[in-house]
Structure 1
Amino acid sequence: MLPSSHPSCRVISRCCRVLLSGGMALGITLAGMTGVHAAPGDDDVFPLSKRWAQINYQVSGDAQEKGMEALGKEVRALADQYPDNAHVLTWEGIILASWAKARGGLGALDLAKEAKATLEKAITLDPKGDNASAYVTLGALYDKAPGWPVGFGDDEKAGEVLRKGLEVNPTGMDTNYYYADYLASEGRDEEALKHARLAQDGPPRPNRELADQELQKEIAALIKRLQ
């Protein structure tokens, strides 16, 4: 699920309430990037990730949507230039998912589908890349997107993808938080609390100070709810 909270929309009303209003805030505090890059295109991602954090956490309303739209266009252009760079594609997926959340309404679905396809490609190129950030964001999309016939949301698939992320990064702050949030939505509170506490103890992510600070707030709120 998502920071501002992150469903498989079993009904259209849930879609509008969760996915399209706040559920896709997924993002995403998720990416656990290392800040150490080598492949062509990697260095161009860092400034986009910093701007994403500022827009995602410090801007709201129409300004946030416009900011995410601008970022989305930039990262799409970068992905066109480096179509086989998994790091670039992971961040394209994160930014597109955040843009969908900021846009809201049924118009967010096309962006969510684009983010899904992008993240799936990133995982195919590098299954262990970016400390499982692509898995986390993709799992959150499956968890919060509306289900059939509206969208691709799927609770079972969400759990499967989030568990794969944990296999790649078992101590991660984001991998454990999003899985805990998913477990809580499934009524598995004891397991959820275990992973929420692991998330709270997770190591900080290099160059992700603002995102980590905000994610820790979400983790604390989840633990409080589960205790």
Structure 2
Amino acid sequence: MELSDIRRDYTQGGLRRHDLPEQPEQLFSTWLDQAIEAKLTDPTAMTVATVDAHGQPYQRIVLLKHFDKDGFVFYTNLGSRKAIQLADNSKISLHFPWHPLERQVHITGCAEKLSKMEVLKYFSSRPKESQIAAWASKQSSRLSARQALESKFFELKEKFAKGEVPVPTFWGGYRVKIDTIEFWQGGANRLHDRFLYTRKQDESQQWEIERLAP
């Protein structure tokens, strides 16, 4: 079969203007709850796109750990490629691909570092093995072999066997402050529904809502 022959119709329903709340995080919360209830694999997984100093975009999958009206939160190694790129250019894009529900959510905005207290609170809630893994991996750096990574992990596991694991100084998180958020719902005959929330650049910080052509 040719790749160009692979297609399907979208039949799970539409999205209308009267369905939209004034605050986009309310609709996102509903959609995320429905993705969790549908038992989608990794419903909190999102593509994070950043740009390097030469204008080259990079994408990777990370997990959303919190969201509210103030933004969307994720955690990472502060020496990672994404963190280095965000230090130079804080503009960022997030994308949630909930294919089984025929939905997508796309977000643009700027990433701000979380406070040390926020990072400590989340790090302390992680399983101990995940805490140790944060110490063991210098994310995005070159590895001679997987064995080197595993050896470092087991060395640290023994070191921290009887005590708490401190937060690495090179580990932290970001809050993405939203500029735009688009909700995409698949529709029959490729007549998909797309609505874009754009934050007004004034003191009101209210949202403008527009329907986009599919």
TM over 0.5: no
Instruction: Report which of the two has the higher share of strand.
Output: 2
Q: TM-score range by the shorter chain?
A: under 0.3
**Normalization by structure 1: what TM-score?**
0.24
Instruction: Report which of the two has the higher share of helix.
Output: 1
**Normalization by structure 2: what TM-score?**
0.25
Larger radius of gyration: 2
